[in-house]
Amino acid sequence: LEEAFREAGFPDGTFQVVVGDRSTASALIDSPISLVSLTGSVGTGVQVAQQAAEHLKKAILELGGSDPFLVADDADLDAAAKGAVAGRFVNTGQSCIAAKRFLVVDSVAEELTARFVEQVRTLRVGDPLRPTTDIGPLVNEAQREEIEGQVKDAVRKGARVEVGGKRLPGPGWFYEPTVLSRVTRTMRVLREETFGPVAPILAVPDLDAAVREANDSEFGLGASLWTQDLKRAEGLVRQIDSGMVFVNGVVKSDPRMPFGGVKHSGIGRELSRYGLLEMVNIKTVQVFPAKGTSQTAQTVE
């Protein structure tokens, strides 16, 4: 990226890549910069925001997510199942905008689960550098243990493993793509962010209950809603407490659209015109006509 800026003719120093650790980041925040933008965990976001606030510097925070995936009784179940696979298992589930809580209306929960599981069984686990691989390893052993603990907690409390449910032997931090049914709100897989290839399915009485469950989280990054009633979807979109809602599609970033969340998922927006405006100070200038002229006053933003 730095080389691309240079080749495009930007002055040296316009864009710089600095590799370092926590102390490096701390020094950068304390340096004479005007703004701090972070993509990271909630805990790190709090620390960065506190340090930036000591210097009265603006902080843009893109933090964690536990995105709900809501399926109505009139949804296209084939499309929803395909979207569930794409939304949950992108980057082995290690994405802030991956679908992490599947909230499905009772009348279609069994059928959606069956179609979802059927597709999950076809996913290929292996070397992430191979184009034929669908599921790669987790980032480290600690993350695999975290996922393993969340699944064991769910099973101990009554969840059923529809597919997967265990680590894979051999080198690498691999964990099977997993689908859990009979999930309840007391389980860690619903209360915490699951940063790995695990899909918990919670059956709910109706779509209104699904929205209530979706909002029952400290996070509010994205949400995915599946229904063929677009008029109803318009009203539900307003009720879902998240920064982004995709109807009949999976949550993804697009440079043309603002990206960001609410609650513990962050502050501010990235991408699009709104993301650019986060990075500037808007100056209002009002020019009054000189005495004796016929010019009118102008306000320039």
Check residue 289 and give its pLDDT: 85
8 Å CB contact between 40 and 193: no
Which of these is catalytic: 2, 3, 54, 62? Answer: 62
Please state whether the predicted TM-score (pTM) of the whole model is above 0.75: yes
8 Å CB contact between 274 and 282: no
How far is the C-alpha of 61 from the C-alpha of 261, rounded, in Å? Answer: 9
Give backbone dihedrals phi and psi of 62, rounded to 5 degrees, phi first. -115, 105
The verdict on whether 96 is a catalytic residue reads yes
Give the distance, in angstroms, between the CA of residue 19 and the centroid of all CA atoms in the same chain: 25
Query: Which domains does the chain show, CATH number per domain?
Result: 2-63+260-287 (no CATH), 67-247 (3.40.309.10)
Check residue 217 and give its pLDDT: 97
Check residue 99 and give its pLDDT: 99
- Within 10 A of 30 (CB to CB), how many other CB atoms are there? 13
Check residue 291 and give its pLDDT: 82
Per DSSP, helices labelled H in the chain are: 2-7, 22-30, 42-54, 77-89, 106-120, 141-156, 188-191, 207-215, 230-239, 272-278
Check residue 292 and give its pLDDT: 74
The closest of 108, 114, 117, 82 to 204, measured between CA atoms, is 108
Secondary element (H or E) of residue 247: strand 244-247
Tokens 């005007």 — which residue? 34
Q: Specify the DSSP class assigned to residue 175.
A: B
8 Å CB contact between 289 and 296: yes
Burial of 142 from C-beta contacts in 10 A (0-12 / 13-18 / 19+)? exposed
Check residue 296 and give its pLDDT: 67
The verdict on whether 62 is a catalytic residue reads yes
How far is the C-alpha of 194 from the C-alpha of 185, rounded, in Å? Answer: 14
* Residue ranges, the chain, pLDDT below 50: none
Which of these is catalytic: 96, 162, 176, 193? Answer: 96
In order, the DSSP letters of 265-301 are TEES-BSHHHHHHHTS----EEEPPPTT--PPPEEE-
